[in-house]
Structure 1
């Protein structure tokens, strides 16, 4: 009872302080630039929460044009003083004292980083800053010079959202509805149609879902992964999500299949959680079900049809590319072209064209097998003509494969996938 009373009093006090800060913020008549200057001054040390609350209040009420001007202000007025930095760097080159180092370090950091740190004081401030970055990313498209400010957002968000602060939670049918609603809304790979569809993904004994949360955003999943426990490595998400399938007892499963990974927060774009999430979920499942033998994905190939559209005039396989795009190709040819795309199609820097391939290969996975007619949804047909791929996570090899990919752009592929990349086509040139 004492613990409950203490928690209750803590919640009451937190709410009162939060309301007080917000009320003081709304009553401050200064414009947002003056408030930012005050927050960075000695006044900000004394009244930081109230000033930060006032800045958020002003910001939420702004139009897009006003937000653009605000970002321009912190981009230009709160930038590094390059000339002062150069002098301090020259001084530090001949004077490695702690005082010289502190002065150099302070000059090398844009003042807007300190502004963001001081903004992150009121209750809910972290969510506000993440939402600010959503606006910044949208405005950045027509104002590329604001990339300097975006780099500072990313720098701070990466430190605030590092692995030490993330909390892994299992999502199931008993999870609060406010979070389940967000799982439905944020699902980015295989749309959840209704509550029955959600139940099929969370309730049966052979289904699992895990998400990362941050203590500052307890009701907002950052990223989540949906897992199917199966007896064999699957080749069709259509069958995996079938309404009429017979659930498997989890203790009888031999394979854990990661069939959907969804990032939830646009404001955290470029801050990767997927690698950490997969590795921790593998560890959790291994402890819970030691009989599991394989950990694989059943992944989309989102860039396949875009690449095929650039290959229609190729002398060797243009006729096959056209057949796939026209949805008249044989499964054999879909396999062969998808394998060529995943193993051989590269960017100028030598990395694979496909973004999902870069993600999993960068995590140390291996291209295992490729499947035609695996995703017959409208989106699956549009992006890859229904093709999907298994990436295999062999924990004894992931570190070596990660290093080979990161350092040498080596695309690791199992024999089935390599064989498909050199297979003959069934379609003949017309």
Structure 2
């Protein structure tokens, strides 16, 4: 990976020799002028050098100056509506290659060329990801910038095509700077340090990550896997240290191979600037192939997943006085959730379990955003062809688990014989595959 960035850096350094002397001496040269020069530059070396200047100038901006820069992209690097209309009319009158090409270039925003040229700089890809990270924080208050995000995302989908990604297993031989980033980026079950990481890289665990050649030692997404016997239902038990350090049973058989199930218990995206660009579906499928090759005895592949939208949905439903999901007694019992201590009270847990389990099953299967499930994790796994296998009561009793899903976790099962069929049924008709066990909860 480093060879790629070193090669780009050498081109940029060579290109600096071709920059006009005034460019190298004028410290007040505006970022706007640099961007326009970059769009018109034709030489690779000089273009790479100017791209490097643009990246450095952008990285020196304050938050307000970054907003000014995005407004510059909107005002000076957007497509021209009158040109689009004129080219569309010409194409309508004469549909040949010439009018098609003219319409294509009229519709394409000039900033797409700018972004492509910035990507030539050393660390240009990283700078553009950082640029989009900042842009995403502005869209709620600056909706007119949405077109810039659209263009950046469009390019990044091409740049981060599966064909450019490499899958690597993470273990103790992985460089320390990458291991540190795994601790930092873990988004599902927080790691407090190297001891937590050591458990997650143990003999009965696997961790895999996708990398891109333009990003030195920067994982894009990683998945953590536990090798267990049967379906796992509690993440605290899954992450706990083994009760014994013995690695063989009384007959001398290796306990490390006494498993039949791979549990995907954490999938973390590492780059906020790549939000909306899906890697996880490729990651899971390739990791399944890797695991089957290493461990032929594996019979089940499933997740132990959070349900991040459940409590938020439940709160909204409770605010609806006409909701048919609750009796008055249900509403009173659900007030116990206001105090986080309920999870430690056996009597309250027994009271809430059937009610919350029923409501959570309803949420996962029936609560929609358009035609797709409201819950983002459900959308992801069901869209990949998984089925809803099982709900796990008190599967995550951490403060975050109780806060977002009342401690419930769900297993999404990947049956390799039916994932493609499930995927097609979900995408084309919104159908959700569920197990008989889960079906009973819906009744």
Question: TM-score, structure 2 length as denominator?
Answer: 0.88
- Tell me whether 1:311 sits opposite 2:317 in the alignment: yes
Q: What SS does the corresponding residue of 1:364 show, helix, strand or coil?
A: coil
Distance 1:58 1:153 in 2: 19
Distance 1:11 1:336 in 2: 53
Distance 1:412 1:258 in 2: 19
Aligned to 1:4: none
Q: What SS does the corresponding residue of 2:218 show, helix, strand or coil?
A: coil
Aligned to 2:251: none
Cα distance change on mapping 1:415 and 1:385 into 2, 3 Å = same
Structure 2 counterparts to residues 373-388 of structure 1, below 5 A: 373-388=394-409
Bigger mean CA deviation after superposition, 254-263 or 378-387:
378-387
Aligned to 2:128: 129
Structure 2 counterparts to residues 161-310 of structure 1, below 5 A: 161-202=160-201, 204-246=202-244, 249-310=255-316
Distance 1:307 1:32 in 2: 45
Once the two structures are superposed, what CA deviation does each residue of 1:180-200 show, in whole Å capped at 9, x if it has no partner?
000000000000112111100
Measure how far apart 1:110 and its partner are: 0.4
Cα distance change on mapping 1:22 and 1:219 into 2, 3 Å = farther
Measure how far apart 1:17 and its partner are: 4.6
- Contact kept, 8 Å, 2:8 with 2:121, in 1: the verdict is no
Cα distance change on mapping 1:408 and 1:216 into 2, 3 Å = same
Once the two structures are superposed, what CA deviation does each residue of 1:307-350 show, in whole Å capped at 9, x if it has no partner?
22123354434345434555334233332222122112223x13
Distance 1:27 1:166 in 2: 40
Distance 2:114 2:162 in 1: 24
Distance 1:9 1:125 in 2: 15
Aligned to 2:356: 334
Measure how far apart 1:75 and its partner are: 1.4
Aligned to 1:105: 104
Distance 1:184 1:156 in 2: 29
Measure how far apart 1:45 and its partner are: 5.7
Q: What SS does the corresponding residue of 2:56 show, helix, strand or coil?
A: helix
Distance 1:244 1:26 in 2: 61
Bigger mean CA deviation after superposition, 247-256 or 66-75:
247-256
Q: What SS does the corresponding residue of 1:302 show, helix, strand or coil?
A: coil
Cα distance change on mapping 1:104 and 1:295 into 2, 3 Å = same
Cα distance change on mapping 1:344 and 1:320 into 2, 3 Å = farther
Q: What SS does the corresponding residue of 2:174 show, helix, strand or coil?
A: coil
Measure how far apart 1:44 and its partner are: 6.3
Measure how far apart 1:406 and its partner are: 1.5
Measure how far apart 1:251 and its partner are: 2.9
Distance 1:44 1:366 in 2: 53
Measure how far apart 1:378 and its partner are: 1.2
Aligned to 2:250: none
Distance 1:405 1:380 in 2: 27
Measure how far apart 1:209 and its partner are: 0.2
Aligned to 1:76: 75
Aligned to 1:344: 366
Question: Any stretches of 5+ residues in structure 1 without a counterpart?
Answer: 1-6, 423-430
Measure how far apart 1:48 and its partner are: 0.6
Question: Any stretches of 5+ residues in structure 2 without a counterpart?
Answer: 248-254, 343-347
Aligned to 2:422: 401
